[in-house]
């Protein structure tokens, strides 16, 4: 498995994987497809990024035998203090789970964050929908700091667990 930067050559595989794992992801305030596209051209997507309150964004892929099998990203909100990154949309193909790909992706973004001098990494997840992700985050040293309810529209909501890790 190789970790690569998101590029124009592999974005379609990343979108397909992300939408397969998170079929509702483009109906959120930070749509997956929009985040991926904006990470390749921040100037060209400045209006969308401002609407999402995002000032910096980048994505990375896990690639096995030329196929995108995982993705993760880093972003910072306009309103965040300097030194903070948030973990973006993160997933591993169902058929590839349990092989350490998710762990390696998280290790990669922790390293990138430290290399860039960040002092904190934050993530939000849902413990009911994604217990394996929560397990990986906690194993890597993330600590739960709060939980809130997020309205997804159409009368749907989910409990968002926020975790953070000091770097």
Q: By the 8 A CB rule, do 139 and 102 touch?
A: no
Instruction: Tell me if 133 is assigned to some domain.
Output: no
Instruction: Tell me if 105 is assigned to some domain.
Output: yes
Instruction: Tell me if 161 is assigned to some domain.
Output: no
Instruction: Tell me if 146 is assigned to some domain.
Output: no
Instruction: Tell me if 152 is assigned to some domain.
Output: no
Q: How far apart are CA 34 and CA 121, in angstroms?
A: 22
Domain count along the chain: 1
Range of 74's domain? 2-121
- Reported as half-sphere exposure (CB side, CA atoms, 13 A), residue 158 has a value of 13
Range name among 7-11, 54-58, 127-131, 163-167 with the lowest pLDDT average: 127-131
Asked if the model's pLDDT at residue 20 lies above 70, the reply is: yes
The CATH number of whichever domain residue 110 belongs to comes to 3.40.630.30
Q: Residue 16's pLDDT is what?
A: 97
Instruction: Tell me if 162 is assigned to some domain.
Output: no
Instruction: Tell me if 136 is assigned to some domain.
Output: no
Q: How far apart are CA 76 and CA 57, in angstroms?
A: 7
Instruction: Tell me if 92 is assigned to some domain.
Output: yes
Over residues 38-47, the pLDDT tens digits come to 999 999 999 9
* Angle, alpha carbons 58-29-86 (nearest 5°): 40
């Amino acid at each position: 498995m190789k970790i690569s930067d998101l590029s124009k050559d592999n974005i379609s595989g990343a979108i397909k994987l992300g939408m397969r794992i998170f079929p509702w992801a483009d109906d959120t305030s930070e749509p997956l497809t929009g985040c991926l596209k904006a990470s390749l051209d921040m100037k060209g997507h400045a209006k969308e990024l401002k609407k999402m309150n995002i000032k910096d964004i980048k994505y990375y892929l896990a690639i096995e035998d030329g196929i995108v099998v995982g993705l993760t990203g880093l972003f910072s909100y306009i309103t965040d203090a300097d030194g903070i990154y948030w973990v973006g949309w993160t997933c591993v193909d169902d058929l590839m789970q349990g092989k350490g790909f998710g762990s390696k992706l998280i290790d990669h973004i922790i390293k990138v964050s430290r290399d860039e001098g960040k002092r904190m990494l934050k993530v939000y997840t849902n413990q009911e929908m994604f217990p394996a992700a929560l397990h990986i985050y906690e194993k890597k040293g993330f600590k739960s700091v709060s939980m809130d309810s997020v309205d997804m529209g159409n009368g749907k909501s989910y409990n968002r667990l926020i975790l953070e890790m000091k770097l």
